[in-house]
Structure 1
Amino acid sequence: MSAFEKAVSDLEKAARDAVDAAANTEQLELMAAVLKAQQLTQQQAPAPAPAPRTSGGAGKWIGIGIGGSVFLLTVAVSAVAVAISAVALTVCLLVLRSVWQDIRKSA
């Protein structure tokens, strides 16, 4: 192998090494960018945790009990009022029927 061929061979080898180095540099830059992006996403503040739910205490349940009692008393009084109205209407109809029968007998 002559000195010229050796120089050309060394030059080709150097060119291949330069191309490989450029490709490696691009890969390293890409990997560095990916790592940087991962670090940025990890550094962001975590989402706030939801506040724990509380049972509301005894006051809440006392209020519900009182409200339920008032509602049930209202329903009961309404039912009694309906019953009294039904009895009064029945008595009124019986009296009117009796009066009507007396009027028909006397005529």
Structure 2
Amino acid sequence: MSDALEKAEAAAREAAVDTAAVQIALAAVELAKAAQAQAQAAPPQHQCEHQHKARRPAGEWIGIACAVCVGGVGVAFASLALAILGGTAAIVVLVLRGMWIDYRKGR
């Protein structure tokens, strides 16, 4: 009877170990299913809803820089032309003023 009891105890231990292993495996499968379902249901956190514009290529930036440089040179020449025009106008006004003064004095 002792031999049969030992065999029964060994079988019971083996069944208990197998049952625990099966329960752990089933719990792991359920956990994996839940994690997968949650990952599919929730959208990624760092995505925004608005549309991003495409970035400009390097060639376009170089073109913009060249246009700004040419525009700057144009503004510089326009400023120089206005300065020359202002100086010329001042000289003409002074000459006309001198002529007017001479005319009024009767020279």
Under a length normalisation based on structure 1, what TM-score does the superposition of the two structures give? 0.47
CA radius of gyration, larger in: 1
Under a length normalisation based on structure 2, what TM-score does the superposition of the two structures give? 0.47
